[in-house]
Structure 1
């Protein structure tokens, strides 16, 4: 079936020999849509797994889980979700809701009950959340080639729903780029390239492997606490698309960040979220956005260990394109 993408993928570069030095430059080189489509074809894994709804999470087997549990040494538990943010701001244009639905002041048999309501339009820059495979379509098609127009309606999605993912337990790897580059944080607009990822592996003494979850820290929330909020849709540190083939080659199952993984402004002409597009629509890799990785950064630096047991349990929402989530690392 012709999916509308180039079928001849470029040959991946050789992996032997020393990598180029880390760059950490601003935004990175511009990429045309033709170049992007060739990259999409190169990293695409359509047809590899059934059911396709789980995408790269199919890489994680019982053996992966057992090996991940063996990484627990101190038993330190580190949550990574941001506080539920109900305050409007430049990085929270659709604030979450939280109000009391029962104050326990209505006459009723003891004990008095107190109840509350929460809600969020969570696909944004404020709520820590998981993007399922139905969150992104490219040229009208989801991961695997299904047509988004036919699969998504007012009641939700019939492909790639977050409920199909279930929980994930695997090895997590923290790439702490500010620590690697000798900075407090990466400035908005700063691009992370494949060489930076390799430098982080060597600095931290880790190797990204099949079925791993990669968490990229750029220091967004430390910078926010020090300097105030800004619009991360306009400018945010993150991955350049030229880093994605390395992650595809390693066979990752999950990608997350304290940003949303994409460097902004986008280096790809006419495409606002190219890393989202490659990860979700081409590779079948769900994303974690807006994690607070400061506590994990401190714990990893304190122990000298940048790999850990990771647990991610999205809400069971049939037809949902994602879910608020509180991932947990256990060191």
Structure 2
């Protein structure tokens, strides 16, 4: 593929530029990959072409499935001061029927971070040169990078689980996922090898395909269920939250970019190690505003982990149905892994 070809690029291509080869776009921050057109709202979801989705469907062999969404009221005490989920049952027709009333923050449980969620802080722009004024200003429109574009497009393709918690336990590692435990690229590669995976991109001889969904299991859900309600509440109320996740190093950024994942997700409240160490930028500022990569957080990967072990394979078909909310910032995942 000619790295200097005119925009937009063809999502059907199989070879894309490495991060170090990205062309510098006019009026865009360094590392911006706004390469699908000026009106694009999908980012790397453009890679979910019909051909790739059809190939991903061949991952369905046994029909075993696992949902990845926690109950809507978990965690009972969200972090960062976010609102608790509230459910009210409304009586209608004198008790002959009932309605549900939900009050929720889409960042309070299993979630997709949409492109309106986090900006590239130095440039103060969101994905594809979207500004805060586009989102909440006087002339704002729900159309610019709203979550509804993902809902209408659909999020289906091949999923890959890197079960880091199982790997770490096998190595005798003990850590608390409610701490800033960092997962290195070297460890992810070793985790992959333990599962029979070469985590390099297919273009470099590895097993990662363009448009794959990446899932990293740190054990956060396992730890959450092992604690008492009082312990989880205290953790949720911490003034300075800390969570296990992938580290913010340059090698990790190169790998996440160069694999051309359609989306990345983990089971902890922040896919990346939190907080970012001094002198590093949040990985969110690369994935969402610069590359257009959706980020999933607090996914329940326990069932997926069990099926990976049962079937002795780490790939599966994945389907997610984000909320069709015009202008939405995020959404619960509503996701299923099918083997």
Under TM normalisation by the shorter chain, which class is it? Answer: 0.7 to 0.9
Answer yes or no: is the 8 Å Cα contact 1:192–1:238 preserved in 2: yes
- Distance in 2 separating the partners of 1:266 and 1:191: 10
Check conservation: 2:208, 2:259, Cα contact below 8 A: yes
- Residue number in structure 1 paired with 2:114: 132
Per the alignment, residue 311 of structure 1 pairs with: 319
1:159 pairs with 2:166: no
Contact 2:60–2:317 (8 Å) recurs in 1: yes
Q: TM-score, normalised by structure 2?
A: 0.77
**Conserved? CA contact 1:185–1:218, under 8 Å:** no
Q: What does 1:39-118 align with in structure 2 at a 5 Å threshold?
A: 41-42=30-31, 44-49=32-37, 51-85=39-73, 88-89=76-77, 91=79, 93-102=82-91, 105-106=94-95, 112-118=96-102
TM-score after normalising by structure 1: 0.79
After superposition, the Cα gap between the structure-2 partners of 1:195 and 1:186, relative to the gap in structure 1 and judged at 3 Å, is: farther
Q: Give the corresponding residue for 2:303.
A: 295
Q: Does the residue aligned with 2:59 lie in a helix, a strand or coil?
A: coil
The Cα RMSD (Å) is: 2.5
CA drift of 1:153 comes to 3.9
Equivalent position of 1:217 in the other structure:
217
Q: Deviations over 1:239-296 (max 9, x none)?
A: 112212101101111011111202112124485xx12211101110011111111111
- Structure 1 residue 148: deviation in Å? 2.2
Runs of 5+ unmatched residues, structure 1: 1-8, 13-39, 107-111
Please say which of residues 236-245 and 91-100 is displaced more in the overlay.
Answer: 91-100
Give the equivalent residue in structure 2 for 1:27.
none
Counterpart position of 1:149: 133
1:248 corresponds, among 252, 257, 267, to 257
Kindly indicate whether the alpha-carbon contact (under 8 Å) linking 1:185 and 1:223 is maintained by their aligned counterparts in 2. no
> Are the equivalent residues in 1 in contact too, given 2:158–2:318 (CA < 8 A)?
yes
Runs of 4+ in 1 over 6 A off after TM superposition: none
Moved more, 300-309 or 131-140: 131-140
Pair 1:262 & 2:254 matched: no
Deviation at 1:89, TM superposition (A): 2.8
In structure 2, what is the Cα distance between the partners aligned to 1:146 and 1:65? 29
Q: Paired residue for 1:3?
A: none
d(CA) in 1 for partners of 2:136, 2:82: 25
Q: Which runs of 5+ in 2 are unaligned?
A: 1-17, 22-28, 198-206
1:168·1:313 contact (CA, 8 Å) conserved in 2?
yes
CA distance in 2, matches of 1:165, 1:90: 25
Structure-2 change in CA distance of 1:217 and 1:208 (3 Å): same
